[in-house]
Structure 1
């Protein structure tokens, strides 16, 4: 499903009712891991990672969940997940050979993403009690979209469930499905808390808006949520500026957008829209597509 911006595609949108954690089912299998490329090409994955790491030593090769596909039955959403890591993501989705990998995926597996890492990101349309939306300016040290405006977000982390293991050591089929679902929903609350310095008690339980793909990173997917904050926008800014957040080095400033501007940002403020990270654009588009515009 195409979005309205070349930086994003929409993989899934909750058009009628948003998906609660009780309505999401996770199926875990190694068959949903990235398929390995022919040996010479697989070696290039390591080379791309090494080159990026040399340029940005702050990069960290953590384990991630890999989203393969979704299906809908009634109000329930089934998500098929494997595991991957940040090294695979940089080495495949950000490889100069990524179009070749997608071509091979179409040719041999009828799936252009099968050789790509596609780690599952999470992001959130955070709405304050006075109807303002949180945007953060990403640090220039971020691994992607440096210096752009974005919604709070990050990744669900297998490490939270299995400890510090390489993704090759993880028996994904042995992971508890409900625990993984909870980690996905809990991870966005954690990211908001750590990036904006907000108490978790001020945040509602996340509701899934849908899944957007970042076309600038070879269609890497991200679940985008609606989270309501009981604080007013000035309180949010004040807490952010206190500088106590756990991930203070990931952003450099905060912006509070009126909701009525956020839902028409492409036309209301096209300069700001051009400065938005693809993940942020996808989140805003999904909010609008769910018919939750004012």
Structure 2
């Protein structure tokens, strides 16, 4: 069970670190156990469960272009050949089930999201009635030591879910840093560190002509020293991503 061994996860007013790997894990050290036992369980309150469909239909009435799609659901993790220390795991297996965007809108993003939580402390069982799709964020550091941020609104930036760099071999292999979860709406996100061998100016120039630039309003960058201040404006799970980066830099 998630959080059942090792040190207690770090909790902040906006986020909870479910797993911290300050030394980072390579691709070969991370595996996935994908099975339907990690899928969401329907809530026993029939009226609350039916509200998922109602919320989705209301969203469709306002935004007819919305469409449902499958997402991987976070179901916990376990260590493999490790010593049970969450800060220095040797190998990690992440548990993933399947959910969809409609259920995410109707549970985690619902105004009644707290009603879907089970009143126990264990992280996985507490969220067994929410969709809780596992997001991803890349903490990208450029050659001039700038951290890239994507903005989807005027004032709020966040770590990008993906960045396409020009040419080959312009970035390092991603290193897994851990998993953070928002306190509000319990949305989990996995974070990775990527070292980009290009300057921030070169990345900006590529972004302005990139195919997927329309998915955000702006690409910006902050220094290491300014990141903690900028992180306070981010969604809770991304504040946790900044905390994971800080742990890595110690």
TM normalised by structure 2 equals 0.84
Mapping for residues 190-205 of structure 1, pairs under 5 Å? 191-193=162-164, 198-199=166-167, 201-205=169-173
User: How many Å apart are 1:249 and its aligned residue?
Assistant: 2.4
Question: Is 1:253 equivalent to 2:218 in the alignment?
Answer: yes
Q: Partner of 1:23 in structure 2?
A: 29
Instruction: For 2:173 and 2:21, locate their aligned partners in 1 and report how far apart those are by CA, in whole Å.
Output: 16
Count the aligned residue pairs.
232
Alpha carbons 1:134, 1:151 under 8 Å: kept: yes
Question: Is 1:149 equivalent to 2:107 in the alignment?
Answer: no
Mapping for residues 153-164 of structure 1, pairs under 5 Å? 153=161
Which of the two has greater helix per residue? 1
Alpha-carbon spacing, 1:199–1:55, altered in 2? closer, same or farther (3 Å):
farther
Alpha carbons 1:123, 1:224 under 8 Å: kept: yes
The two structures, once aligned, show a CA RMSD in angstroms of 2.3
Q: Report SS of the residue matched to 1:281.
A: helix
Mapping for residues 211-250 of structure 1, pairs under 5 Å? 211-216=179-184, 218-242=185-209, 244-246=210-212, 248-250=213-215
Instruction: For 1:139 and 1:58, locate their aligned partners in 2 and report how far apart those are by CA, in whole Å.
Output: 20
The ranges of structure 1 where at least 4 consecutive aligned residues each deviate by more than 4 angstroms after the TM superposition are 197-200
**Gap runs ≥5 in structure 1:** 141-146, 154-190, 267-271
Q: Partner of 1:14 in structure 2?
A: 21
Alpha carbons 1:192, 1:198 under 8 Å: kept: no
**Gap runs ≥5 in structure 2:** 1-8, 83-89
Mapping for residues 90-169 of structure 1, pairs under 5 Å? 90-103=105-118, 106=120, 111-139=125-153, 148-153=156-161
Alpha-carbon spacing, 1:199–1:11, altered in 2? closer, same or farther (3 Å):
farther
- Residues 91-147 of structure 1, C-alpha deviation per residue, up to 9 Å, x if partnerless? 1112222222213x649x98220000010100011011111110111148xxxxxx5
